[in-house]
Structure 1
Amino acid sequence: MKLFAGLDVSSFDIKVCLLDGEGEKVKSFTVSNDLPGASELRDTVLECVNGQAVDTLRFGLESTSVYSFHPSMFLHHDEALKALGAEVFVMNPKQIANFKKSYSDMDKTDEIDAFVIADYLRFGRLPMSVVKESQYVALQQLTRSRYQLVHQVTKEKQHFLQHLSFKCNTFKEEVDSSVFGNAMMELFFEKFSLDELAQMPVEDLAAFLQEKGRNRFGNPECVAKSIQKAVRSSYRLDKVVEDSIDIILGTTIEVIRTLQKQVKEIDKAIERIMAGLTQTLVTIPGIGPVFTAGIIAEIGQIERFDDETKIAKYAGLYWRKHQSGRFTADDTSLSRNGNQYLRYYLVEAANSVRRHVPEYQAYYAKKYQEVPKHQHKRALVLTARKLVRLVDALLRNHQVYTPKRSVNI
């Protein structure tokens, strides 16, 4: 017996359509989107099976954030459904929408959508296998939250520098932006006036920077001099304006510190989960714990993908083809589909790996020279695509990274 269950999920209910292997409707019904409703869904499916030998039992539902998460995890982990070899597929809504276009004059209703999902399952062209195991789901929530927090920190630092330009308009020109950090935030958190900073002995300012920067400045006196040069050449603000800017700078610094503290807490939680996962990506030079955790979290168990091409497609690391007759476009855009988080981590990891591994540096350089436009972006994405092959091999075979040996002739 073959049974395909299409689920159209909303915040409050689940429309279900059951089809057999021939595409005939076995049953359609509605349950609530909660634990009792999911239990009723499972029991109804078991009644339809009714002791028959099951060759295929598939559940399909569109990815709709938290609405689809709970029913998909319930069905995936249910022991009675596991015994029947049930598989649960969470699919891209765009794929279902495109498949639905093959039907003529079909209305847009939840019941019809459930039928289309079930029929899509029946045709068997499925993008990926079962949903992720729990530890990968937990890791994904942490890494994605970390991603958002880090981007918020970047945004707040930009906000800080923008208002710093009001207080000290030549700061960006005179002071290297790379020194921005804890010491610089401490300096402006103290709400020194520009005249106070200008009159402060260079040795005292350098000592302040070195203490607050935890001795990370190679030449603190040089940094102190550049700050004082910026201070002396900047416009002076009215006292009321300067006070308001100081308040904004102070509150922005507090926000940055709070976000950074949250990032550290999430890093600890990520480290605990990663300690329980078997993976070897961290052995690749240039891939640290952050990139490793992000890639692992988005891929999940490697068995979800048939091969590395499916991972690349899932990440959106490919260019769309534009061809008509004898014409083939040379300049096409990178696909906007795919998992944006996995694409981000793979591209950033590739950018780091190419600085540490000669093979990837040579590959990047070769691809950079191939085209006259978009050289860096194209070369970096293609390097990330090359990295996918390595990631797939290491995870699938449980191997550690071994660099290629150079041959002397």
Structure 2
Amino acid sequence: MLLIGDDWAEDHHDVEVQDETGRKLAAAKLPEGVDGVAKLHELVAKHGGEKLDPNAVIVGIETDRGPWVQALIAAGYKVYAINPRQVARFKERYGTSGAKSDKGDAHALADMVRIDRDQLRPIAGDSEQAQAIKVVARAHQTLIWERTRIFQRLRNALREYFPAALDAYADLTLLGADALELLVKAPTPQAAAKLTHAQITAALARARRRNRTAKAAVIQTALREQHLELAEPVTAAYAATVVAHARLLITLNEQIADLETQVKAHFHAHPDAEIYLSMPGMGEISGARVLAEFGDDPTRYASAKARKNYAGTSPITRASGKSHTVQARFVRNNRLADALQAQAFSALNGSPGARAYYDKQRVRDVGYNGALRQVGNRLVGILHGCLKTRTLYDEATAWSHYAYLHAA
């Protein structure tokens, strides 16, 4: 068996090769790309021999993505993606000085997969379809997060110099195409006051708004009211900022819509899509996100508990002396946690069992977030069972062991 620590950078990899006793066999700085992978294979062949089983090559690296990682998996090596914070804590065994080097990190990674590999999770063998869903689902969610940040900057800028716009477009939402179009056309109080009823109505029509005539009149009136104003140069500077942010939001809205189409297409092409969509509160986008983060390797989660732990929905216990508390997990996959919370919230209206389970937690004085998290935890367990048995969700079967459902 060979243990390899791989400290990766953008253009190179520092690697250390050890045997099962921890003896250092080799250390090298390899270039990124085909040449680097070839040289790594040469090191393995040199120190492991021609008869070495690829599964006996254990690699520790601080990422689970990219062509390099996929090349290692394709070669048959067992690859462990290790959280950098775990590596930092592990290195404290060697000393507390805080010293850091790429070679030192490679050595720590090799030691980790040699000593603590039973406590680590190997990279899942997800299908190409699942990997594709993960790429587009994460990109889609990242653009939504970015849009929210830009929207907040736009709103804060308007509050600083043009609060009347917030009142005028309150019923339209500033993320709407019509409000953004009008902001680009008239970003200052003076220009907005000159917008005609026809111009406003035309923007509303392009956004397919109803009651356009009445809404245009309300907007025009709000924009023409007297408000406190800043000096002209300051107003012009703010206006330029708002126009830039509004145009960014217009572009982001278009790209998010395009990516949403891609997410749905990739998701529906996956054989597990039907099972995910059968779950209460699970839609196409949320289903794609959950599938992307869980992956589709059937051997990845040994039990429903293991899946719940990965999801971060199951609680953790902190016990020391006379102190004993049960707390929510805060170190978790935030993308997965967000999707599961949205599912749990929607399931309250679509599943009588989920609603009854939630109400039971609330009666026990569990807070809103805690009760919702417990619903999500239960739904993760149900999903695990459905995937394991290749069956669709069934309301009666999922909640059959709860007495209150029989009573209902």
TM-score range, shorter chain: 0.7 to 0.9
Change beyond 3 A, Cα 1:57–1:258: same
Q: 2:145 aligned to 144, 147, 151, which one?
A: 151
- Contact map agreement 2:4 2:15 (CA 8 A) in 1: no
What are the within-5 Å matches in structure 2 for residues 32-51 of structure 1? 32-34=30-32, 35-51=34-50
Change beyond 3 A, Cα 1:167–1:10: closer
Q: 2:346 aligned to 352, 357, 364, which one?
A: 352
Q: 1:95 aligned to 66, 81, 86, which one?
A: 86
Find the counterpart in structure 2 of residue 70 from structure 1: 67
Find the counterpart in structure 1 of residue 400 from structure 2: none
Find the counterpart in structure 2 of residue 7 from structure 1: 6
2: CA distance between counterparts of 1:276 and 1:366?
38
Change beyond 3 A, Cα 1:254–1:18: same
Find the counterpart in structure 1 of residue 56 from structure 2: 57
User: How far does residue 64 in structure 1 lie from its aligned partner after superposition?
Assistant: 4.3
Find the counterpart in structure 2 of residue 306 from structure 1: 302
Q: Confirm or deny that 1:282 pairs with 2:277.
A: yes
CA deviation digits over 1:267-289, x for unaligned, max 9? 23333432432212122243222
Ranges in structure 1 where 5+ consecutive residues have no aligned partner: none
2: CA distance between counterparts of 1:91 and 1:249?
42
Change beyond 3 A, Cα 1:210–1:356: farther
Q: TM-score, normalised by structure 2?
A: 0.79
Find the counterpart in structure 2 of residue 389 from structure 1: 381
Stretch moving more, 391-400 or 32-41: 391-400
Residue identity matched to 2:178: A
What are the within-5 Å matches in structure 2 for residues 2-401 of structure 1? 2-11=1-10, 12-20=12-20, 23-25=21-23, 27-34=25-32, 35-52=34-51, 54=53, 57-64=56-63, 69-78=66-75, 82=76, 86-102=77-93, 110-123=102-115, 124-133=117-126, 134-165=128-159, 169-170=163-164, 172=166, 176-177=170-171, 179-180=173-174, 181-191=176-186, 207-208=201-202, 210-215=204-209, 217=210, 219-220=211-212, 223-224=215-216, 226-228=218-220, 230-231=222-223, 233-235=225-227, 237=229, 246-279=239-272, 280-302=275-297, 303-329=299-325, 332=327, 334-371=328-365, 375-401=367-393
2: CA distance between counterparts of 1:196 and 1:9?
54
Change beyond 3 A, Cα 1:212–1:163: farther
2: CA distance between counterparts of 1:96 and 1:192?
50
User: How far does residue 251 in structure 1 lie from its aligned partner after superposition?
Assistant: 3.0
CA deviation digits over 1:238-262, x for unaligned, max 9? 7666655554443332111111122
Stretch moving more, 89-98 or 250-259: 89-98
2: CA distance between counterparts of 1:59 and 1:290?
36
User: How far does residue 166 in structure 1 lie from its aligned partner after superposition?
Assistant: 5.4
Change beyond 3 A, Cα 1:45–1:381: same
User: How far does residue 108 in structure 1 lie from its aligned partner after superposition?
Assistant: 5.2
Q: Secondary structure at the match of 1:323?
A: strand
User: How far does residue 91 in structure 1 lie from its aligned partner after superposition?
Assistant: 1.6
- Contact map agreement 2:168 2:218 (CA 8 A) in 1: yes
Q: Secondary structure at the match of 1:59?
A: strand
Change beyond 3 A, Cα 1:269–1:328: same
CA deviation digits over 1:196-228, x for unaligned, max 9? 9779898x688546513314x4x5566445435
Q: Percent of counterpart pairs with the same letter?
A: 19
Q: Secondary structure at the match of 2:28?
A: strand
Q: Secondary structure at the match of 2:264?
A: helix
User: How far does residue 235 in structure 1 lie from its aligned partner after superposition?
Assistant: 0.5
Ranges in structure 2 where 5+ consecutive residues have no aligned partner: 398-404
User: How far does residue 394 in structure 1 lie from its aligned partner after superposition?
Assistant: 3.0
Stretch moving more, 237-246 or 294-303: 237-246
- Contact map agreement 1:7 1:15 (CA 8 A) in 2: yes
- Contact map agreement 2:169 2:179 (CA 8 A) in 1: no
1: CA distance between counterparts of 2:9 and 2:169?
53
- Contact map agreement 1:19 1:118 (CA 8 A) in 2: no
Change beyond 3 A, Cα 1:4–1:365: same
Find the counterpart in structure 1 of residue 401 from structure 2: none
Count of residue pairs brought into register by the alignment: 391
- Contact map agreement 1:315 1:343 (CA 8 A) in 2: yes
User: How far does residue 369 in structure 1 lie from its aligned partner after superposition?
Assistant: 4.4
Q: TM-score, normalised by structure 1?
A: 0.79
Instruction: Please provide the CA RMSD for this pair.
Output: 3.7
Change beyond 3 A, Cα 1:167–1:109: closer
- Contact map agreement 1:89 1:131 (CA 8 A) in 2: no
CA deviation digits over 1:340-384, x for unaligned, max 9? 222222222222233322222232333344347xx2322232222
